[in-house]
Amino acid sequence: MSCVFCQIVEGTNPGDILFHDSRVMVFRDIHPQAPVHLLIIPKKHISSVTRLTGEDENLLPHMMTTAIEIAKREGLWGKGFRLVINSGQQGGQLVPHLHLHLLGGKQLSGQLG
Q: Residues 21-60 vs Zn ion: string with x where CB under 5 A? A: ------------------------x---------------
Q: Name the binder of 29 from ligand AMP, Zn ion, none, CB < 5-8 A by kind.
A: ligand AMP
Q: In the 3-class helix/strand/coil scheme, how is 32-60 assigned residue by residue?
A: CCCCEEEEEEECCCCCCHHHCCHHHCCHH
Beta carbons within 10 angstroms of residue 50's beta carbon: 11
> Distance between CA 100 and CA 41 in Å, rounded?
6
Q: How far is the CB of 74 from ligand AMP (least distance, A)?
A: 16
Q: How far is the CB of 8 from Zn ion (least distance, A)?
A: 9
Q: How far is the CB of 79 from ligand AMP (least distance, A)?
A: 21
> Distance between CA 110 and CA 75 in Å, rounded?
21
Catalytically active residues, by annotation: 99
